[in-house]
Every structure is written in C-alpha cells, then in structure tokens.
Amino acid sequence: LDPELIRQADLILVMEPTHLRRLRRSVPEAVGKSMLLGTLTIDQGFDVIIEDPFMREDEVFEKCFAQIDQGLRILVDRL
C-alpha cells in the first residue's frame, strides 16, 4: 500500500486483524479510517475475520466471497 493513497482515503477495509495492525502501525493516519470489513457482517452470522481463500478449498473461497459481498452491500446501504 502506498502511504499517500492511504492518507487520501476516506475508508480502508481489510480482512484480517494482522492487516489492520500493520496498516495502522505503518501509516498512523489510517487509525481513524480503517476497519475490518467483517465487522459489518457480524449481525449476518459471519465471523469478524474474513479468511484468505488463497490455496484453500472452494468452501473457504465461497464463504470469503459471500462475506465480502454482504459487507459491501451493507456499506453501500449505509452510504
């Protein structure tokens, strides 16, 4: 991630807590505008952490896709 793009962003969504910690540690301006995408879908029965489906079974990919899709739909409705 480019620090300048992070500074310009209004909202940064990440999938895993390690991504969030690294982002906030490397670019302090990200602290107030970054969050886990999964926090938007917790009421839908999903986990807060969205598992990376890379090199995983199809079921993990499908769950990841569903959670990202649902999270973005919720975000669009809130905007």
pLDDT digits (tens, 9 = 90+) for 24-68: 999 999 999 999 999 999 888 888 999 899 999 999 999 999 999
Q: What is residue 46's predicted lDDT score, i.e. its pLDDT?
A: 84
Which residues have CB under 8 Å from 70's CB, separation 6+?
40, 41, 44, 46
Is 56 strand, coil or helix? coil
What DSSP designation does 35 have?
E
Torsion (CA) 66, 69, 72, 77 in degrees, nearest 10 = -100
Q: What is residue 43's predicted lDDT score, i.e. its pLDDT?
A: 87
Q: What is residue 3's predicted lDDT score, i.e. its pLDDT?
A: 86
- What is the distance between the alpha carbons of residues 68 and 2, in angstroms, rounded to a whole number? 23
